[in-house]
Amino acid sequence: MSQQTAQTSAPKSAAAKLFDLRVLIGGLFTFYGVVLILAGIFASAAEIQKASGININLWMGIGMLIVGLLFLLWWRLNPLQRPVDPAHDTEPVAGITAKTVPGKGTSAFEGRRDG
């Protein structure tokens, strides 16, 4: 039974590592920033005049692109890490709670001698 819990703990940590919100947020900000930059480049004079002469699509697109790239840079430079138990310098294994002590009833036939 402990083998099954040990096997299921590895995919959970891998799935948690794949699902980092910084990637999702950074990707969406970057995508929408590029879309707004393109909308700002191809904006007509009438559209710019509606916004008091400011090409708001272009400026907001540049801002969103910068924020998105900062999120992606943050994710790339500081990826998620699994916690390490400082007492043993090993990674914790889910599902194993009891420690087994050699010679203390770990097997039904331990300590029994035929002969």
What is the reported pTM?
Answer: 0.58
In three-state secondary structure terms, 20 is coil
SS3 content of the chain, % helix, strand, coil (to 5): 55, 0, 40
In angstroms, the Cα distances linking 106 to 32, 43, 93, 102 are: 60, 76, 20, 7
pLDDT tens-digit map of 4-32: 555 544 555 666 656 789 999 999 999 99
Domain ranges of the chain: 2-77
β-partners of residue 85 are 90
pLDDT tens-digit map of 40-80: 999 999 999 999 999 999 999 999 999 999 999 999 998 87
